[in-house]
Amino acid sequence: MSKTSIGLKQAKILIVDDESANVRLIEKLLAMNGFNHVLSTQDSTEAVALYQKQQSDLLLLDLNMPNLDGYGVLDQLNTLTNDNPPPVLILTAQHQQHFRQRALDKGARDYVTKPFDVDELISRVCNLLEVQLAKNYMKNQNEILEQQVLERTHQINETRLQTVRHLGRAAEYRDNETGFHIIRMSKVAALLGEAIGLSAYKCDLLLNASPMHDIGKIGIPDHILLKPGKLNEDEWIKMKSHAQIGADILAEDSSELMVMAHDIALTHHEKYNGKGYPNGLKEDQIPLSGRITALADVFDALTSIRPYKKAWSVEKAVNLIKEESGQHFDPKLVDVFLKNLPEIVLINEAYSEPLNDQ
């Protein structure tokens, strides 16, 4: 009894032997030494199924059995996808070396011949179980650590996303927006990304990066940002600087989310024909994320109330987007936009501004 710890006593052992007398003897010896989770079978064809059902920590296996011998059982165990199979202790009357070697080559961990010494058998059982339980413990610890890493990574990502959303809303509040604008345009951007075949991961990045497109407006004075009339030349130059300001705010973060947010902030006012700002990029020089966000942002801006204008109708906004295809907007994206217009309108309706803010 002293040889078995509490942990070992809880171990699950499977006996596979076609001789009932042998099975009864081994069961009795194990019980006398504190092993109470013992399962046995005299039908070797049941061995693997019983192992899987019990999730055995140790198999005591005879070699000479009808229908399926011990080597056959070892072969079946080796075909399982389980990455932590139980140790197998061969318990047989076969003394010859080639029997021992064959069993060990097929994965058996130990080999005891009959008649056996009781103390030696229990010691070997305990030794094999200690190793197996240690492996199980390490496997469980690794799984716990992996889960903790996943949870921590999820927490970091959620914190980053919350920061992103708050940054986006901070800019919109300065522009007399309620925050619904960034919800609408980001969902439209993600919808367009999905429609052109971007992966779900890329679409999720678009959804969470595009709200920061106007973060640079934080650096624009109120008398310019909120001016109800047309901006003069100096004011317009200052207003246009928000793209570079936003890019500077979001720079020097290597995460994919922030890299995309940086690209969007910098390029969402570039135009397909090269006449946009701040760098006069054209066509594919403009990152796809910037081209998508530009289209989603302009459509929502046109159909929303701003300090300097009333909301346009969807029809009027769509007509302008058609006119600007190949000029302001990527013509391929315009085609996708038009094909998905019903879904886009539904997004606008679902996240419309509260009536008291109209």
pLDDT at 269: 96
Cα(283)–Cα(272) distance, integer angstroms: 5
pLDDT at 3: 44
CB 78 within 8 A of CB 107: yes
Residues 6+ apart with CB under 8 A from 219: 241, 242, 245
Sheet of strand 110-113: strand arrangement: 37-41, 12-16, 58-61, 88-92, 110-113
Q: Is 90 helix (H, G, I), strand (E, B) or coil?
A: strand
Cα separation values, 269 from 112, 144, 239, Å: 79, 47, 12
Cα(261)–Cα(189) distance, integer angstroms: 13
Q: Which two tokens stand for residue 138?
A: 């390490």
- The CATH architecture assigned to 175-357 reads Orthogonal Bundle (1.10)
pLDDT at 14: 94
What do you get for the CA distance between the two ends of the chain, in Å? 81
CB 286 within 8 A of CB 272: yes
pLDDT per residue rounded down to tens, the chain (358 residues): 444 454 688 889 999 999 999 999 999 999 999 898 999 999 999 999 999 888 889 999 999 999 899 999 999 998 885 666 789 999 988 889 999 999 999 989 999 998 888 999 999 999 998 888 888 778 778 777 888 887 776 676 676 667 666 666 666 666 655 568 888 999 999 999 999 999 999 999 999 899 889 889 888 998 888 887 889 999 999 999 999 999 998 888 788 888 999 999 999 999 999 999 999 999 999 999 999 999 999 999 899 876 667 889 999 999 999 999 999 999 999 999 999 999 999 998 898 876 554 4
| Burial (CB count <10 Å: 0-12, 13-18, 19+), residue 63 | buried
Q: If you classify domain 6-145 with CATH, what class do you get?
A: alpha beta
Q: Which residues are catalytic?
A: 217
CB 115 within 8 A of CB 86: no
Same fold yes or no, 6-145 and 175-357: no
pLDDT at 114: 86
pLDDT at 304: 84
Domain locations in the chain? 6-145, 175-357
Looking from the CA of 224 toward its CB, the CA atoms found within 13 Å total 17
